[in-house]
Amino acid sequence: MFFKLAWRNIWRSKRRSLITIGSIFFAILFSNLMQSLQRGLWEKSLGATMSLSGYIQVQSPAFWEEQTLDNGIECNAQQVETISQIDNVKLVSPRIQSGALAAHGILSKFAFIHCINPSTEQDLLELPLKLDEGSLLADDDDGIIIGRGMAQYFEIGVGDTLSMLGQGYHGASANANFPIRGIIKYGSNQMSGSLVIMPLKLAQSHFDAPNIATSLHVSLDDIDKLEKTQLLIDKALSGQDLTTMNWKQMMPELLQAYQADAGGNVIFLMVLYLIIGFGIFGTVLMMTTERMYEFGVMVSIGMKRFKLSIILFLETVFLSAIGVAVGSLLSFPIMFYYHLNPIQITGDAADAMRDLGFDPVIAGSISLSILYENALVIAVIIALVNIYPAIVISKLNPIKAMRK
């Protein structure tokens, strides 16, 4: 009966209820879409960065201070298997990351050599999507893939040869020519101009480092469980001369940039929810004030005050639930649309994003936590707003209320 009473009460003033539901609906719609695009931008950017760095790296304890091949680790299939079995671990990839001087003709520049197992990791790096020209690599390939920026710098294309001059494992020289199999587009200008992707087997031979990797890169299913997964890996590797680092520890400046952006977003959302909060409060205020007489009657005939408060609480819950449900149901398809059809940024804005190391693409995030979190904010607003009628009802004098 209380549910029935509350439900019918909200339709006593249809226009007012529809306006309140509408304001909640638009707040949910806007905040869901805004957060979807904001998170999507970061998910995409972090995803691209993490595909190279891994969310977690297993390294030699000396590696982080002096990032050379000499501080690499021996690839151990048992180790890889142990980490792969840990919950939330998607893929464990032994990789070599090293630098060299790339040269072609009279030109030379720094090259960031990233060595992968092509058969298992090309998809992770989205190489099929990024490939602009040529072909992908095979595990036993003797060629390389380079970024479009580097190809433009050297004015070379697929089929040309790029020289790599560097130092190998324990002082060995690592100089060789590599045929270019493919050229990829990379959002970040810096990476586009310096990235060289090489098969791991080829790299181990080139650097004279058989079975050596600079680190094991760990990809995750759920990035929200980053720290928890790192702890599990630490536990699994205890007693071995290895250490783990997550991306927040390896790239604190990226974390700060993310937090700063998310912080700005929070301020905007707070303003939005403040407006909505006052909107709901206005409705509750009216619903309370104009029904004092009725409340007086209900208390007179024997209705306990807290039950009356529950009815009023249910009324706001119904109003909000409708607004949240409709807002979420309508915003999710839009979020999904932008997830499948990202907004392509062009012109100066795109250049600015590339300079920051981001792909100039904003894809909608479809993380359900966006919907939950915004619904939770509305729930908190309802709880706060309902303090007022609860106080009014607790102080209600039925005789005075009925006199009014």
Partner 1 sequence: MSVIKVKGIQKIYNEGSAIEVRALNGIDLVVEKGEFTAVVGPSGSGKTTLLNIIGGLDVATQGEVLIDGTTISGMSENELIGFRLNNIGFVFQAYNLIPVLTAKENVGFIMLLQKRSNDERENRVNELLDEVGLKEQKNKRPGELSGGQQQRVAVARALASKPKFVLADEPTANLDSKSTSDLLDIMARLNKEEGTTFIFSTHDQRVIDRARRVVTIDDGRITSDVHHA
Which residues contribute to the site for partner 1 (CB under 8 A)?
1, 4-5, 8-9, 11-12, 293-294, 297-305, 307, 398-399, 402
- Of 306 and 372, the one with the shorter C-beta distance to partner 1 is 306
Least Å from the CB of residue 124 to partner 1: 59
Least Å from the CB of residue 279 to partner 1: 23
Least Å from the CB of residue 297 to partner 1: 4
Exposed e or buried b per residue across 240-272, where buried means at least 16 C-beta atoms within 10 angstroms of its C-beta: eebbbbbbeebbeebeebbeeeeeebeeebeeb
E runs forming strands in 190-290: 195-199, 212-213, 215-220, 243-246
Least Å from the CB of residue 352 to partner 1: 57
Closest alpha carbon to 56 in 289, 241, 218: 218
Least Å from the CB of residue 4 to partner 1: 8
**Cα dihedral 146, 149, 152, 155 in deg (nearest 10):** -40
- Of 106 and 301, the one with the shorter C-beta distance to partner 1 is 301
Least Å from the CB of residue 6 to partner 1: 9
Least Å from the CB of residue 325 to partner 1: 22
Helix 252-289 and helix 387-394, axial crossing angle in degrees, nearest 10: 30
Residue type, 106: I
Residue pair 83/216 in contact (Cβ under 8 Å)? The answer is: yes
d(CA 61, CA 45): 28
Q: Sign of the CA dihedral 92, 93, 99, 104?
A: negative
Residue owning tokens 């939330």: 88
- Of 301 and 340, the one with the shorter C-beta distance to partner 1 is 301
Residue 210: Cβ within 10 Å count? 11
Query: What is the DSSP secondary-structure string of 282-346?
Result: HHHHHHHHTTHHHHHHHHHTT--HHHHHHHHHHHHHHHHHHHHHHHHHHHHHHHHHHHHSPEEP-
Exposed e or buried b per residue across 68-98, where buried means at least 16 C-beta atoms within 10 angstroms of its C-beta: ebbbbbebeeebbebbeebebbebbbbbbbb
- Of 176 and 297, the one with the shorter C-beta distance to partner 1 is 297
Q: Which run of H or of E encompasses 100?
A: strand 89-104
- Of 62 and 303, the one with the shorter C-beta distance to partner 1 is 303
- Of 7 and 110, the one with the shorter C-beta distance to partner 1 is 7
Least Å from the CB of residue 282 to partner 1: 21
d(CA 181, CA 175): 19
Residue owning tokens 């702890």: 231
- Of 4 and 235, the one with the shorter C-beta distance to partner 1 is 4
- Of 12 and 170, the one with the shorter C-beta distance to partner 1 is 12
- Of 18 and 356, the one with the shorter C-beta distance to partner 1 is 18
Least Å from the CB of residue 299 to partner 1: 7
